Structures are given as structure tokens and as C-alpha cells.
Structure 1
């Protein structure tokens, strides 16, 4: 997953306004208390950041990949 894919999924799954707010403000234990935006800036893999956010918010696997184009081949979890 590329960082631009992360931001596209943020917009599709959470909506642009709420999703961007989550990325800037939601501190996640799985990211050592950092926000998703800070984790990405620090060089974390976008896929790992995405899974950490979805796990923290209990987003079901069936809803994590936005529109159908993302559901075809979701990246494997680590």
C-alpha cells in the first residue's frame, strides 16, 4: 500500500472530514501513542498504520477496503 492509497481509504471508509481528523488526532497504542499522520511522517508502512487505525476503531475486514477496487486483493496483515 502506498501512502496515497492510505489517504484514499481514509476518505472512502471514514469520509474526508472525519477521516482526516482521525488521522491527525487519534492517538493509537499500536503506534506507540502516535497519531496515524505522525506515524506516516515517521516512515511507518501505510498498510501497518491503516490496520492499526481500523483495529482501534473496530472496523470489520469487509469494510476496511473502501470501494470494490480495494476489496479485490487486500494486502496481507503482518
Structure 2
């Protein structure tokens, strides 16, 4: 998954403004980090997206 696809899915799930807030502020249990921290440390966009899907109710069409 490309990082641009990841952000598109985040915006589709959470909305334009809230997606960046979730990415910055919410610590994902599966990663032990926020979305931004995980991406900065080099986690793949795909693994971060999977963690988001586990943590939040993400519609099947976005998975």
C-alpha cells in the first residue's frame, strides 16, 4: 500500500480534519505508537492501516 492510499483511506474513514488528529493523538495498541510515530519509525503503511482497522470500526470497503 502506498502512503498516499493510506491517507486517502484515513480521510475516507475519519474525515479530512479528524484523520490528522487521529494520526497524531491516538496511540494504537497493536503498534504501541500513534499513526504518525509508526510511519516516522518506518512501519509500512499497510501494517499501520491494519492496526487502524483493528482499533476502529473501519467499513469493509476500505479494508
Matches of 1:27 and 1:10, distance apart in 2: 15
Deviation at 1:58, TM superposition (A): 2.8
Match of 1:52 in 2: 51
Cα distance per residue 1:5-39 (max 9 Å; x no partner): 111111112101111110111101100x2101110
User: Whole-Å Cα distance in 2 between the matches of residues 41 and 3 of structure 1?
Assistant: 12
Please identify the structure whose Cα radius of gyration is greater: 1
Q: Is the 8 A contact 2:30 2:51 kept in 1?
A: yes
TM-score by length of 1: 0.72
Q: RMSD of aligned C-alpha atoms?
A: 1.4
Can you list the C-alpha shifts for 1:47-69, whole angstroms capped at 9, x where unaligned?
Answer: 11011012111324x24x2xxxx
Moved over 2 A (4+): none
CA distance in 2, matches of 1:22, 1:51: 15
Question: Where does structure 2 lack aligned partners over 5 or more consecutive residues?
Answer: none
Equivalent residue pairs, number = 63
Gaps of 5+ in 1: 66-73
